[in-house]
Amino acid sequence: MKLGSRALLLILQNAPYLLFIVLLVVFGLMSDRFLALANFRNIIIQAAPIAILAIGMTFVLLTAQIDLSVGGSMYLTASVLALYLTGIPWPIGLAAVLVLAGAIGAVNGFVVTRFGIASFIVTLATLFILRGIAMYLSNTRTLMFEDQILTLNRATVLGIPSAIFAFLVVFAIAWVVLHQTPFGRQVYAVGGDPEAARKAGLPVSRIVFACFVIAGLCAGIGGFVSITQIGAVGPKYGDQIEFAAIAAAVLGGVSLFGGRGSVSGTVFGAILIKSVQNGLNIINADPYIYPLVTAAIIFLAVAIDGLRTRIIERLERRTIRPLAAE
């Protein structure tokens, strides 16, 4: 019985990966195009913006906060780029986008930590405000971008497509920061138990603030990558994308209650979601069922995670009371 539980636990622990393998097999059997190498490249290119966004979201979620404003930040920075940052080399434009996006994250972080308001409300409010400002600046028109930005989509760095390159850079930096630095350990400590972290002398407010800035920066980069892919932005740009980013993170094992998760898990979640959509596309599925399948997979992954927590609880209870009645 005990062995059985442990085996079950092992399966549940790796459930998202098993789910991914099942998907690969199913789509692979239905179409031989799905498992082609070129298609994998496509999936990662498509997943890049949302993965970058979700990496930033991971930092915020790890401290048990949430950032609903990322879509608004994407829309505003894109509008500013299209309206005011024309005629200059794109790296300067990108730098300006990052400064603005980082500042938006700083505002979120400041209000959350200084006034002690729930981040759900703060970022909900800034989402409205950012979208409003972007609509004002753009007159709710669809904005086009310069050719130098559009051609970035086809550019490669060391033979790697630009979107994948940007994604890899962000991923590598985030991984190092989160898993190899004192700051990363502090993020986990704050999310695991803020009170204990405070008693241990950690600057909790400053860490939470930094995580919001990171989420803001990632929204800026993710937005820039997605601009190069779609070439124009309208009032619906980035709408509801915060939910997609949160879903990717949660699918990859990040807890909404803080302290648990990793950037590699998040990236995996983003790629899983895009693989599903890509696979459905390749097998010519009815477009109406895309959201249904995506939602079902998110649901399944989180349900399995909940089950896992429950089994761990049960296993731990047994070791505490070995003589308890059957």
Partner 1 sequence: MTAVPPAQLARTAGPSAGMTRFIRPILSEYFVLVLCVLYVAAIYPFVPEIVTWGVWSNILSDMMPLLVVAIGQTFVLIVAGIDLSVTAIISMAAVVGASVMTGNGGYLGGSALAVPVAVLAMLIVGLGIGAINGLSVVKLNMPPFIVTLATRMFVAGAAIWYVTFHSTSSSIAGLPDAFTGFATGSLAGLPYTVIVAGLIAVAAHMLLSRTRYGRWIYAVGANPKAARVSGIPVERTILMTFLISGACASVAAMMYASRMQTGSPIAGENILLDVIGAVVIGGTSLFGGKGKIVWTVFGVLFLLILDTSMKLLGASLFAIYIIKGSVILLAAMMDTLRNRILTER
Counting contacts by CB under 8 A, is residue 175 touching partner 1? no
Q: How many other CB atoms sit within 10 Å of the CB of residue 215?
A: 33
Q: What is the distance between the terminal CA atoms of the chain, rounded to a whole angstrom?
A: 12
Taking residues 131 to 170 in sequence order and writing x for each that binds partner 1 by CB under 8 A, - otherwise, the string is: xxxxxx---x------------------------------
Q: Is residue 12 a contact partner of residue 307, using CB atoms and an 8 Å limit?
A: yes
Counting contacts by CB under 8 A, is residue 290 touching partner 1? yes
Dist. CA 67–CA 233, nearest whole Å: 22
Smaller CB separation from partner 1, 163 or 246: 246
H/E element, 156: strand 156-157
The letter for the amino acid at 99 is V
Q: Which of 15, 19, 125, 283 binds partner 1 (CB under 8 A)?
A: 125
| Closest CB 270 distance from partner 1, rounded Å | 16
Place of tokens 């803001």: 216
Q: Which of 179, 185, 310, 318 binds partner 1 (CB under 8 A)?
A: 310
Q: Which of 29, 196, 257, 315 binds partner 1 (CB under 8 A)?
A: 257
The stretch near partner 1 (CB under 8 A) out of 17-25, 48-56, 161-169, 282-290 is 282-290
Q: Which of 124, 168, 230, 283 binds partner 1 (CB under 8 A)?
A: 124
Q: Which of 95, 243, 314, 317 binds partner 1 (CB under 8 A)?
A: 243
Long-range contacts of 168-175 (CB under 8 A, 24+ apart): 170/52, 170/55, 170/218, 170/221, 171/51, 171/55, 171/263, 171/264, 171/267, 174/55, 174/56, 174/58, 174/59, 174/214, 174/218, 174/263, 175/263, 175/264
Dist. CA 323–CA 326, nearest whole Å: 9
Counting contacts by CB under 8 A, is residue 120 touching partner 1? yes
Counting contacts by CB under 8 A, is residue 232 touching partner 1? no
| Closest CB 266 distance from partner 1, rounded Å | 14
Number of residues forming the site for partner 1 (CB under 8 A): 45
The letter for the amino acid at 106 is A
Q: Report the SS3 class of residue 160.
A: strand
User: Which positions from 4 through 43 interact with partner 1, judged by CB under 8 A?
Assistant: none
Q: Which of 99, 142, 200, 299 binds partner 1 (CB under 8 A)?
A: 299
Q: Which of 215, 246, 263, 272 binds partner 1 (CB under 8 A)?
A: 246
Token pair, residue 25, equals 């097999």
Dist. CA 142–CA 118, nearest whole Å: 33
| Closest CB 64 distance from partner 1, rounded Å | 11
Interacting residue ranges for partner 1, rule: CB under 8 A: 111, 115-118, 120-122, 124-129, 131-136, 140, 243, 246-247, 250, 256-257, 286, 288-292, 294-296, 298-299, 302-303, 305-307, 309-310
